[in-house]
Amino acid sequence: MIVAALALLALVIMASVFHKINVPVILMSLLIGIIFGSDVTGIIHLDDAVMVKEVANVALMLILFIGGFSTKLAHFKLVMRPVALLATVGVILTALITALIFHWVVGWEFLTAMLICSIISSTDAAAVFSILKGKSLEKRIKTLSELESVSNDPMAVVLTLFIISLITGAGMSTTQAFLLFLWKLIGGVGMGLAVGYVAVYVFHKIRHLEAEFFYIYMFSVVFLSYSLAEVIGASGMLSSFFAGLYIGNKAIPYKKGLIAFSNILSFITNVALFILLGLLAFPRSFVNIWQQGLILFAIITLVGRPITVFLLTLLDKLNLKEKVFLSAIGIRGAVPIVLATYPLALGLDPDHEIFNLVFFIVTLSMILQGTSIVALAKKFKLIVKEDTKAPKILELITVQDTNYEIIELYIDEEYYEGSCLISELKLPPGTLITLIKRDGEIIAPSGSVEILPRDTLTVLVDKHNIDMIPVEILRSFVLKNIQEQDED
């Protein structure tokens, strides 16, 4: 317990020190695991790949479900085609191009090269989200980057398992292997959607329960979606993602609370997973693989990923800088290291060569790409200035279906100048300002109360009118200023 407490405390201190240079939290978690592991301090000795694989499987199942649960289908409208292509064909193409070149340059047997390239073929959602969080990146490229990173992990899992089956499946014909691959895809998607559909129905049937039971229920749905798919020979990981995707895009009780809970759970799971994977690594052995690691990292980063991005976005209206940025943000993360435990646990990687290579590449990607991507966005002028601060949606506690939301809107002095009375606002029908926070105090709103810069308003509003609230308040501020200037 003391060691665990010290490890977590060290992580918090590192985050405080390095937060200004965009060091991903998962990279810091890896470093904590390495520091406390066998090769550095020797405080914890961990070499049980089978145990780590089982724990990592549960973590990955949760991460993929939460990734789907947090993805809004409405956001796909701007980027439907490139996201769909990059998250499916793009994963296969990246792995294939990289494997062919790596096989030719280094001389690895092609299936082994294809295995390691399948493992590192997906980009990391946790890293992308943490790096882009709070950055006003151009909307289309930010949406494309985030949605691709959250939706390409399932294909990497399926592709890796497919290559493993080719390596271990004695007597399996090419046709049988291809049909198995298709079934894992189709069966995984179908089971996930089916479980999601039933889960939403049950959500409404148990809506009278206290909120705490909904969190327990969500865990049961995650495990059920995964296990049922595995029972029928389909991809449990893919099923988990699509179950989350279906549920996350339906109206369910306590949805905002479940989203907040999911985000916290995803963060904690990623941190714990990377500390565990850091403990499993033996950095001293990197001396034997660092040259191959550099070559593989260079191939996938400078050749495999860019070729894939440029080919699959030919029909999309992305300029050269946007395509280069999209290629550069292909950061490797949690999923590759988890997948690297699969051949390790099956005895296909007795010397830990594949695991160490993957670990080395992910660490390199986190350091080089993770810390430079924001600077690249600024250089390409992809950082835009928002007109106003978007309202923050809070949890409206109700078991009834409703179109209303509680939002919190900060009156930023950068955009709002002067003041206006509540009575002067022409807010949409049914909108109610419920309270005002000012300098640490709560003010009860009435028509004669002034709204001032640096106030925080809590507003009850129809969800279809949320975007109108900051616009209307800003308009009222401007009109009041013009009126005062005319009077002067």
State yes or no: pLDDT of 134 exceeds 90.
Answer: no
State yes or no: pLDDT of 112 exceeds 50.
Answer: yes
State yes or no: pLDDT of 442 exceeds 70.
Answer: yes
Q: Give the range among 72-81, 240-249, 447-456 with minimum mean pLDDT.
A: 72-81
Tell me the whole-structure pTM to 2 decimals. 0.70
122 dihedral zone (left: phi>0; alpha: psi -120 to 50; beta): beta
Hey, what CATH topology would domain 392-487 get? Alpha-Beta Plaits (3.30.70)
Spatial distance between the Cα atoms of 366 and 359, rounded to a whole number of angstroms: 11
User: To the nearest whole percent, how much of the chain has pLDDT over 70?
Assistant: 89
Q: Which of 51-65, 191-205, 402-416: highest mean pLDDT?
A: 191-205
Q: Where are the domains of the chain?
A: 2-379, 392-487
pLDDT score of 207: 80
pLDDT score of 296: 95
Q: Report the CATH architecture of 2-379.
A: Up-down Bundle (1.20)
2-379 and 392-487 agree in CATH topology: no
Please give the radius of gyration of the chain, using alpha carbons only, rounded to the nearest integer.
25
In contact, 461 and 431? CB cutoff 8 Å: yes
pLDDT in tens, 3-46: 778 877 887 787 777 666 666 677 788 788 888 877 777 777 77
pLDDT score of 75: 67
In contact, 341 and 380? CB cutoff 8 Å: no
pLDDT score of 400: 59
pLDDT score of 387: 47
pLDDT in tens, 153-178: 778 888 888 888 888 875 556 677 67
Residue with the larger pLDDT of the pair 359 and 102: 102
pLDDT in tens, 236-291: 878 888 898 899 888 888 777 787 788 788 778 778 877 877 787 777 778 888 89
pLDDT in tens, 307-327: 999 999 998 888 899 999 999
pLDDT score of 89: 92
Distance of CA 396 to the CA centre of its chain: 25
pLDDT score of 435: 87
User: To the nearest whole percent, how much of the chain has pLDDT over 90?
Assistant: 19
Q: What's the mean pLDDT in 465-488? A: 76
Spatial distance between the Cα atoms of 22 and 370, rounded to a whole number of angstroms: 7
pLDDT score of 304: 94
Q: What's the mean pLDDT in 367-390? A: 75
pLDDT score of 127: 65
State yes or no: pLDDT of 118 exceeds 60.
Answer: yes
First-last CA distance in the chain: 69
pLDDT score of 67: 77
pLDDT score of 24: 66
State yes or no: pLDDT of 485 exceeds 70.
Answer: no
Q: What's the mean pLDDT in 64-73? A: 79
Walk across the sheet containing 404-410 and list its strands. 392-394, 404-410, 456-462, 432-438, 441-443
SS (H, E, C) the chain: CHHHHHHHHHHHHHHHHHHHHCCCHHHHHHHHHHHHCCCCCCCCCCCCHHHHHHHHHHHHHHHHHHHHHCCCHHHHHHHHHHHHHHHCHHHHHHHHHHHHHHHHHHCCCHHHHHHHHHHCCCCCHHHHHHHHCCCCECHHHHHHHHHHHHHCHHHHHHHHHHHHHHHHCCCCCHHHHHHHHHHHHHHHHHHHHHHHHHHHHHHHHCCCCCHHHHHHHHHHHHHHHHHHHHHCCCCHHHHHHHHHHHHHCCCCCCHHHHHHHHHHHHHHHHHHHHHHHHHHCCHHHHHHCHHHHHHHHHHHHHHHHHHHHHHHCCCCCCCHHHHHHHHHCCCCCHHHHHHHHHHHHCCCCCCCHHHHHHHHHHHHHHHHCCCCHHHHHHHCCCECCCCCCCCEEECCCCCCCCCEEEEEEECCCCCCCCCEEHHHCCCCCCCEEEEEEECCEEECCCCCCEECCCCEEEEEEEHHHCCHHHHHHHHHHHHHHHHHHHHC
Residue with the larger pLDDT of the pair 68 and 226: 226
pLDDT in tens, 175-199: 776 777 788 888 888 999 999 999 9
